[in-house]
Structure formats: C-alpha cells, structure tokens
A = this chain, B = another copy of it.
Amino acid sequence: LNKEAIKMAQQHLDMLTKPQGSLGVLEDIVKQLAGITGNPMPKLEKKVVIIMAGDHGVVEEGISAFPQEVTPQMVLNFLAGGAAINVLSRHAGAEIVCCDIGIAVDVEHHDLIVRKVRRSTNNMTKGPAMSRSEAIKAIEVGIEVAEEQIAKGASILATGDMGIGNTTPSSAILKVFTGCPIEKAVGRGTGLNDNGLARKAMVINRAIEINNPDPEDPIDVLSKVGGLEIAGLAGVILGGAAHKIPVVIDGFISTAAAMIAGKIEPKAINYMIASHVSEEPGHKLMLETLELYPMLHMKMRLGEGTGAALALHIIDAATHVQSEMATFESAGVATAKQ
C-alpha cells in the first residue's frame, strides 16, 4: 500500500468538520482506498460484482436443502435481472458479470461468461474435489475475468458466488486452515434441519479425513476440499490485488476464497474490504483469521454477492465524505480545545 497517500488522506480527513476519527470505518475505508490506489481522494468510478458459478459433487451426500438444478436456474435468474444480487447491485449503482466456471450442465445466455474448467467437482468424500491443475486453472480463470473487468474500467470489484452445496467446501476450508472444531465451521447453509446439519458435519469430516489436505498448501486444500467457484473467486481477489483494485468480500463462500487467496499471497489481504458477517457460524471466525472487519450485521445467508453489494454503497459514501465535506477553515468552525 502507498504509505504517502494514506498519510495525505489522513491529513485531509483531520481537516474536515468532525472530531478526528469520528467517522470510524468510513475513515478506515478512505485510508485503505488511498493506500491501494495511491490517491488520497479516492473515487469509485465503476463498480462490478463478479459472480462465479460452479457445482459440487458432494451434493450426492445430501448436504443441501436445494437441488443441484438450482445452480443453472439461478444463473439464468441473474442474467434476467431477477435475483437479490440484481436488485441490490442496481441500487448500489454496480454492474454484474456472471461466469460459469464449473456448472454441472451447460447454460446458454449471451451475457454469460463461459470458462468452464470442468462440469462440477467430484464428490470430495470419495477423493479430491478436483485435480491440482484444475484448481490452478480455475484460479487463473478468476484472475482473467477480473483483469477483463479492470480493462473495461472497473475501479472496485465485489465477489459473489452461486453453487448449490458450496457452504460444505467453505466449511471444510475453514476447518483445515484453522483446525477449529467442526461445530464452529459448519452451518445450515440455505436451510438444513438438525439432521441435515449433523449429516453435513459428518460429510465434511469424512472429506478432510480421506483427502488429508495440507493446510500450508492452499492449492492442495482448494483442490481436495474446495470448489471451482471458490477457486475462481480467489483468482478474482488475486487479480484485483495485482492491479491495485480493491475487492469487496461477500459472505461465507467469498471469505473462504479470501482465505485461499490470503494463503497464496498474504499481501492480497490489504486489498480486501469485508462487507457483512453472515448467519453461517463459521463466517465470523474466517473474518477474524483474516483480520477483516465486517461493517454490516444483516443476519444474511444468501451469498451471490448480496452483502458486498450493500457495502458498496457505504464504501462509496466514504469516498464522498473525503471529497465533499467542508474543512474547519472553509466552514469557519472552531476546532477542539487543547
């Protein structure tokens, strides 16, 4: 990060008509954006939500409340503009792009970015979800999609996911990296009952036991107990960071991708802006591990980038504070007493 730009941003913030530091996270965001972009008065010209969609062989084990066919159906819903992420992105003034990185079936739509690495992952309770080279290829797809959007003018990216069953690999990633007990890592996803939750915990334990992923090797973790959209989102984050573009991290699945990206390149964490803390119980632990601070507590558990889209408005607000507020001098306001 550009330390000189952060210092200049701080100096300007301290001239504005408010007690120093009193805008809290808004000021932190301004400084982070200044450090990322090198501009002490950062602007977000174009906001893009990148949704990565993929399927999971592990759904065979009955770990999701929804059937796998919902993945392509929801992707078509994104492309038709009817999903929650469409509504929230429009409201935030953001564009959406959606990439098929591993849906089990073929989806045809002129706006869909098709970069299928493979059709769904394998059932990770019976062996690796994918090969090491497939995991690397999926990360590269994410980097490329991010670079395409940056080339088209994106000044901030937000991550979104679609993939029935994808809280299961996300919980597995969390457990492998932190060694936390399974109860801390697993949640109800889109709406499992108590039996479903117990089954899901067993499935995750079995997948980790059978594959024995190496927590020091993020590609190993990703290929054995991860997912294609998780790999793609890790690539989006790495691609954004490499081009000095901030990346807003959505919920549980996106933060699993952020953990992978942060293990591959710890400096990438400086480019991440957390959005919300979700209802998945493991999400808070993921954010703490990455030392990211979620500004929104919305009790959401939808994914798609919905929490990140809500945060985009707030991040935008932070940049407006820096560029539009009056200074103590210009407004003729007295400063704090000694």
Question: What is the interface of chain A, defined by CB distance below 8 A to chain B?
Answer: 16-26, 28, 65-67, 69-70, 73-74, 76-77, 80, 82-84, 86-88, 90-91, 190-191, 279, 294-302, 306, 310, 313-314, 316-317, 320-321, 324-326, 330-337
In contact, A297 and B295 (Cβ under 8 angstroms): yes
Jot down 11 A-B pairs with beta carbons below 8 A, ordered by A.
Answer: A17-B77, A19-B301, A23-B302, A25-B298, A66-B335, A67-B334, A69-B334, A83-B331, A84-B321, A87-B320, A88-B321
Q: Is the CB of B17 within 8 A of A82?
A: yes
**Which residues of the partner chain B approach A297 to less than 8 Å between Cβ atoms?**
25, 294-297
The 3 closest A-B pairs by CB, nearest first: A82-B326, A24-B299, A19-B190
Interface of A, secondary structure class, is loop
Given the complex, which residues of B lie within 8 Å of A335, measured CB to CB? 66
A25 to chain B: which residues have CB within 8 Å?
Answer: 297-300
In the complex, which residues of chain B have a beta carbon less than 8 angstroms from the beta carbon of A87? 317, 320-321, 324-325
**Min CB gap A192→B, angstroms:** 10
Q: A299 contacts which chain B residues (CB < 8 A)? A: 24-25, 28
C-alpha spacing A279/B26, complex, angstroms: 13
Q: Judge whether A302 and B80 touch: CB under 8 Å.
A: no
CB-contact partner of A191 in B19, B65, B90, B91, under 8 A: B19
With the chains together, A18 CA to B324 CA distance in Å? 38
Cβ distance A239 to chain B, nearest Cβ, rounded Å: 28
With a CB–CB cut-off of 8 A, which chain B residues contact A336?
65-66, 190-191
Task: Identify 14 new A-B residue pairs, CB closer than 8 A, beyond the known A23-B306, A76-B332, A298-B314.
Answer: A16-B84, A19-B190, A22-B301, A22-B302, A24-B299, A25-B297, A66-B335, A67-B337, A73-B334, A87-B321, A88-B321, A296-B296, A296-B314, A297-B297
Which residues from B are CB-within-8-Å of A17? 74, 77, 82-84
